[in-house]
A and B are shown apart, each in its own frame.
Chain A
Amino acid sequence: MAERISAADVAHVAHLARLKVSEEEIALFAAQLGAVLEHAADVAALDTAGVPPTAHPLPVRNVLRADEERPSLDRQTVLDQAPRAEDDRFRVPRILGEAP
């Protein structure tokens, strides 16, 4: 079976998904994901020229709500669920990179 996804691909994807996976997991996932992608080869190889994609099973458009206020949540209820909070805000460790 041709290698569908390499260990480097898995490591890259794990980074994109913010999963700090171990080396053993990378090897295992490469094999398991490779098998699934191998199975999906039938789909990948299918000639679908001229077939539009279906993102959604509903043929519905323009679902809109009126610009009317609804009550917000109680702040304490919200912050009680936070792993860490400070000064009525969610506390996070330092941020090294900028937002894109």
Chain B
Amino acid sequence: MSSGQEGASSPAAGLAAAVREGRASAVEVLERHLGAIAERDPEIHAFNLVMVDEARRRAETVDGAVARGEDPGRLAGVPVALKDNLCTRGVPTSCSSKILASWRPPYDATVVERITAAGAVVVGKTNLDEFAMGSSTENSAFGPTRNPHDPARVPGGSSGGSAAAVAAGFAPLALGSDTGGSIRQPAALCGVVGVKPTYGLVSRYGLVAFASSLDQIGPFAHTVRDAALLFEVIAGHDPMDSTSLDGPAPSVLDAIPMGVEGMRVGLVSELLAGVEPAAAAAVEAAAEALTGMGAKVETTSVPATVYGLSAYYLIAPAEASSNLARYDGVRYGLRVEGEDVAAMFGATRQAGFGAEVKRRIMLGTYALSAGYYDAYYGQAQRVRTLIIRDFEEAYRSFDALLAPTTPGPAFPLGAKTQDPLSMYMSDVCTIPSNLAGHPAMSIPWGSSDGLPLGVQVMAPALGEAVMFRVAAALEGEAPPAPVPAGGRR
């Protein structure tokens, strides 16, 4: 279906190459994907909004550039799906919340500017758990997204729409955001590659904040190479984000062919404990594969990671409670009128936020409130220090770490909605990297009852090159993966 040799292993890179060389037109590429969306998205509901007209205009612009002999860029004509918490100028950006349902940002997120400058064609805004709070994309004001591998099951979350869009062939690339696993967990559950970069490598400007000290934007793709390509396009310093790292971003595509021979990889015992046997088995098989390719793999311990979940569910809600205060009905978004301003605030927020968002706002408000700050928020920040220290210790002996991405495969819709804590447990393996600010990615490996599983590769801050090398090596040795209806494109 895709053009050229390259396309077979890296669909996005293949499409971009074909469009740049005039072997394919961006408009045709787009129409093919719009066709797939029209065919199956009514069932999957990956998108909150398909930007048909804007995308067609963009694709024509890209083709026009090629016709004039210009190079539209590294993502020429590649359809990209955007999580609907990334601001798009003049295009609704809802965060899957009623409170922002009608909001049209007057500006583009930095990542949107960068992919557009690289020739990408934004196809639409994907569904998410409201304000990225959730692990199943069921907490969306516009209804859940379904897993392309089994529509009775969740795609994971919170970037479930982006993961499902790539898995279902609606777009070869997507962007999501990862605060506690929101890229890697749905990537694993949908059988695609998902990357959370080092905190500060990708600008957060224009990403609607959930938990500012944890949020990072990252790519979804079918292959490690495609994810690397999108990562290189979006990474790099942005003066609009004070937490954006100065200096050049790591070059990862060039590193991929270097392989893993002689590399030291640690298997994190704490993150293997408590996961389903299939998930543990997948990681062990991956470890064997790495050993087979010349890496030195050993089991190791990162003790403080056992406190990660608890610390995360204090820190993230605390920051969220403040980040979401601005939705008050004054300047934009929903307003429910009231007798006076205080009544209007209360009514607007009560009507505009879903249950999970309210739960986290209250949890975070509590954790920050007088008398509890030290015991909860303050203590969680100290635990964060311990986790960082333990990772530092581990990275003295290892170049990269290996763990499951999730405790198990995609679960049925509704299975965990009544028990928030059990839902929170879905993030247990992914949270430590967010707390440490380290890069981590999930690649498809193995299956459980025909459902995809992922393994997670973690690296120290700015260790993306090593992480992509390990991931690419594993990808080459991965067992046959389950293919969703509609298949890959």
A→B interface (CB under 8 Å): 5, 9-10, 13-14, 16-21, 25, 29, 32-33, 35-37, 39-40, 42-44, 46, 48, 51-58, 60, 63, 65, 73-74, 77-78, 81-84, 90, 92-97
Q: Within 8 Å of chain A (Cβ to Cβ): is B7?
A: no
By a CB distance below 8 angstroms, the chain A residues around B339 are 93-94
Q: Nearest 10 A-B pairs (CB), nearest first?
A: A57-B437, A53-B381, A20-B346, A83-B335, A48-B382, A43-B310, A81-B332, A20-B350, A54-B384, A40-B310
A1: min CB distance to chain B, Å: 12
Whether A29 and B358, one on each chain, are in contact in the complex, defined by CB atoms closer than 8 angstroms, is: yes
By a CB distance below 8 angstroms, the chain A residues around B385 are 48, 51-54
Given A32-B421, A55-B381, A58-B243, 20 new contacts (CB under 8 A)? A13-B362, A25-B358, A29-B362, A33-B362, A40-B311, A40-B376, A43-B383, A46-B379, A53-B385, A54-B381, A54-B382, A57-B437, A57-B461, A78-B106, A81-B106, A83-B330, A93-B338, A93-B339, A93-B340, A97-B342
By a CB distance below 8 angstroms, the chain B residues around A21 are 350, 358
Whether A48 and B321, one on each chain, are in contact in the complex, defined by CB atoms closer than 8 angstroms, is: no
Whether A18 and B379, one on each chain, are in contact in the complex, defined by CB atoms closer than 8 angstroms, is: no
A56: min CB distance to chain B, Å: 5
Q: 27 A-B contacts, Cβ less than 8 Å apart?
A: A14-B362, A17-B349, A19-B361, A19-B362, A25-B358, A33-B362, A36-B313, A36-B363, A36-B420, A37-B366, A42-B310, A43-B314, A46-B307, A48-B379, A52-B382, A54-B385, A54-B388, A55-B213, A60-B200, A63-B242, A81-B331, A81-B333, A92-B330, A93-B343, A95-B341, A96-B340, A96-B341
Q: Which secondary structure dominates chain B's binding surface?
A: helix
The interface centre, meaning the residue of A57, A63, A82 with most chain B CB atoms within 10 A of its CB, is A57
Which residue from chain A places its CB closest to the CB of B420 in the assembled complex? A32
Whether B366 and A90, one on each chain, are in contact in the complex, defined by CB atoms closer than 8 angstroms, is: no
Tell me the complex Cα distance, A63–B203, Å: 14
The interface centre, meaning the residue of A39, A40, A65, A77 with most chain B CB atoms within 10 A of its CB, is A40
With A13-B362, A17-B362 known as contacts, the answer to whether A83 contacts B420 (CB < 8 A) is: no
Whether B349 and A19, one on each chain, are in contact in the complex, defined by CB atoms closer than 8 angstroms, is: yes
Q: Which secondary structure dominates chain A's binding surface?
A: loop
Tell me the complex Cα distance, A92–B341, Å: 6
Whether B243 and A60, one on each chain, are in contact in the complex, defined by CB atoms closer than 8 angstroms, is: yes
Interface size on B, residues (CB 8 A): 69
B113: min CB distance to chain A, Å: 15
By a CB distance below 8 angstroms, the chain B residues around A57 are 199-200, 213, 388, 435-437, 461
Q: Could you say which of A17, A63, A65 contacts B365, with CB atoms under 8 Å apart? A: A17
Contact with A along B380-421 (1 / 0, CB 8 A): 111111101000000000000000000000000000000011
Whether B365 and A93, one on each chain, are in contact in the complex, defined by CB atoms closer than 8 angstroms, is: no
By a CB distance below 8 angstroms, the chain B residues around A14 are 362
Whether A10 and B362, one on each chain, are in contact in the complex, defined by CB atoms closer than 8 angstroms, is: yes
By a CB distance below 8 angstroms, the chain A residues around B104 are 81
Q: Could you say which of B239, B338, B437 contacts A65, with CB atoms under 8 Å apart? A: B239
